Amino acid sequence: MLLLAALTTDAQQWKVPVTGAHEQMLTGKYEPTWQSLRQHQTPQWFRDAKFGIWAHWGPQCVEGSGDWMARSLYMEGSREYKWHVEHYGHPSEVGFKDILPLFKAEHWDPEALVERYKRCGAQYFFVLGNHHDNFDLWDSQYQPWNSKNIGPKRDILEEWARAAKKAGLPLGISFHADHAWTWYEPAQRYDLNGPKAGVYYDGHLTRDDGKGKWWEGLDPQLLYRQNHPLSERSWWNGAIHDQWDWTHGAATPSQEFVTNFYDRTLDAINRYHPDLIYFDVTVLPFYDISDCGLRIATHLYNKNPQSVVFGKILNDEQRQALTWDVERGAPNHIVAEPWQTCNCIGGWHYNTDIYEKNRYKTAGQVVKMLVDIVSKNGNLLLSIPLRADGTYDEKEAKVLDDLEAWMTVNGESIFGTRPWKVFGEGPVAEKSIALNAQGFNDGQYANMDYRDVRFNQKGSVLYATAMGWPDDHRLVIKTLKRGNSHGRKVSRVTLLGYGRVKSQQTADGLIVTLPDPTNAIAPVLKIQ
């Protein structure tokens, strides 16, 4: 009776409920309420995995102007707008819809890529199902603007899923298209200056405008979704960040739009059987104006009880039902529930400016980020941006090579571990580091050195990783001083990839004498 009451209350509160006319939510142990979903526990396989790689890849990589370019090309005067106008045309004549056929994936080899990522230590593999650009990367029955119909003419998700299964890696799919409704609003604009001032961009086009065009028979409104009034302050480009949770004047999406996203997501789940799904949202899609997100999570949990659903900016109750995701950042303490950071070595979509200016994260930065996150009970999901042809560049290849070299020797200190009594010590460990919205504080961790040590454990073994090599070969771990409050007496210290090293517990700390650096990133001590 209590569960029925909770369901009734939830059903009455939704402003835009899903119709359920097409895809049906799988019923079973879980119901679409927080009370029910709190029964779900983040599975042990995910806690053991620690590291995944993400192919955050789609048609927004064509121009190489970076993430959110399909929105920014409609912002007069922006870098992306200028690039688009110069190389492709004015957005009143050539909009993002016209970029889609240029996404060819002509050199894409999913099996080779997944195997490469696995050699780097990836224990699960993530792919993009759709982005805010609203283009489905599979043979979607609910979105004709998809990769089977346009561009590669291939079912991208099917091929990724097959490659992941062959490699023995759990598959994750991310879905972002729920925000197309507000994200594409600049496509309704027009230039305020210049020769095309007042000429509307192509966000207003409909099926009838396609006669004689390459897209004849397709309705641009199924892509752009702009047949609605603008959100409040829509001409201010930053308003979308205030409105991400559908508040502060965000235009309310229609029931048809919400249900369409729901149908597309369940369609992909049922076809490709992901073990993890990720939403780039506050809590869940359309929360809390719709039951859409709760129903999707319920469907996946009932279909695969060992699955993971990620959400951002979660309260304590929601973290018991979902797995918390932090974007480009981390809390500076151990978190009781398993969680994940999603980050990228560059921009979320391929950006030639980052390539040309050598602004990729190095393998050293990635490793230190991973070690820090794992010490706090987290996982790292790392994106390696691909070009539109489906390949990574030679600078990204260097990152992967260096990452593989470190992980091959030191992976035992990552996989299958759990947090110790304290996560670490050192200048950064002692700082108060706050999250900014859904994360965005990774810069606070950028300057860790050998003084910053991170701990984790596996059985009776304690691992201590220093975030660099001391010049004088003398590493002092203060937490493990003689008579330390954690009751840790040290009998043997081994440097992974080298062998036993000299150590002594003193009143100042565990003093370890290290050899010349055996890798270019960080030494890992196995302490028994």
Dump pLDDT digits (tens) for 196-250. 999 999 999 999 999 999 999 999 999 999 999 999 999 999 999 999 999 999 9
Mention every residue, 6+ apart, whose C-beta is less than 8 A from residue 82.
none
* pLDDT of 30 strictly over 60: yes
Dmax (CA) of the chain: 82
pLDDT-derived band of residue 2, with 50, 70 and 90 as boundaries?
Answer: very low
Backbone angles phi, psi at 89, to 5 degrees: 135, 170
Residue 495 to residue 505: CA distance in whole angstroms: 16
What per-residue confidence (pLDDT) applies to 13? Answer: 86
Mention every residue, 6+ apart, whose C-beta is less than 8 A from residue 298.
25, 26, 30, 31, 32, 36, 37
Residue found by looking up tokens 């303490």 in the block: 333
What per-residue confidence (pLDDT) applies to 4? Answer: 35
CA 453 vs CA 85, 290, 418, 504, 505: distances in Å: 49, 45, 16, 17, 16
* pLDDT of 12 strictly over 70: no
pLDDT-derived band of residue 20, with 50, 70 and 90 as boundaries?
Answer: confident
Quote the DSSP letter at residue 26. P
Q: Tell me the per-residue pLDDT of 168-210, one tens digit each, with 9 for 90 and over.
A: 999 999 999 999 999 999 999 999 999 999 999 999 999 999 9
Cis before 325? omega within 30: no
Residue 147 to residue 149: CA distance in whole angstroms: 5
What per-residue confidence (pLDDT) applies to 8? Answer: 37
Q: 200 by DSSP, 3-state: which?
A: strand
pLDDT-derived band of residue 485, with 50, 70 and 90 as boundaries?
Answer: confident
Position 163: which residue type?
A: A
pLDDT-derived band of residue 11, with 50, 70 and 90 as boundaries?
Answer: very low
Q: Please calculate the CA angle 109-110-116 and round it to the nearest 5 degrees.
A: 95
pLDDT-derived band of residue 3, with 50, 70 and 90 as boundaries?
Answer: very low
Average pLDDT over residues 15-28: 96
Residue 158 to residue 111: CA distance in whole angstroms: 12
Q: Tell me the per-residue pLDDT of 333-374, one tens digit each, with 9 for 90 and over.
A: 999 999 999 999 999 999 999 999 999 999 999 999 999 999
* pLDDT of 10 strictly over 70: no
CB 390 within 8 A of CB 109: yes
Closest by CA to 311, choosing from 301, 332, 326, is: 326
What per-residue confidence (pLDDT) applies to 55? Answer: 97
Q: How high is the mean pLDDT of the chain?
A: 96
Closest by CA to 204, choosing from 281, 297, 95, is: 95
H, E, C per residue of 137-153: CCCCCCCCCECCCCCCC
CA 365 vs CA 329, 344, 435, 442, 521: distances in Å: 13, 11, 19, 10, 8
CB 116 within 8 A of CB 105: no
Mention every residue, 6+ apart, whose C-beta is less than 8 A from residue 360.
345, 346, 354, 395, 396, 399
* pLDDT of 7 strictly over 50: no
pLDDT-derived band of residue 487, with 50, 70 and 90 as boundaries?
Answer: confident
Q: Tell me the per-residue pLDDT of 83-135, one tens digit each, with 9 for 90 and over.
A: 999 999 999 999 999 999 999 999 999 999 999 999 999 999 999 999 999 99
DSSP of 278-344: EEEEESSTTTTT-SHHHHHHHHHHHH-TT-EEEEES--HHHHHHSEEEEET---SS--SS-EEEEEE
What per-residue confidence (pLDDT) applies to 309? Answer: 98
**Cα of 116 vs its chain's centroid, Å:** 19
What per-residue confidence (pLDDT) applies to 1? Answer: 30
pLDDT-derived band of residue 9, with 50, 70 and 90 as boundaries?
Answer: very low
DSSP of 228-295: SPPPTTTTSTTHHHHTTTS-TTPPPPPHHHHHHHHHHHHHHHHHH--SEEEEEEESSTTTTT-SHHHH
pTM metric for this prediction: 0.96
Mention every residue, 6+ apart, whose C-beta is less than 8 A from residue 5.
none
- 249 φψ region: left (φ > 0), alpha (ψ -120 to 50), beta (else): left
Average pLDDT over residues 323-336: 97
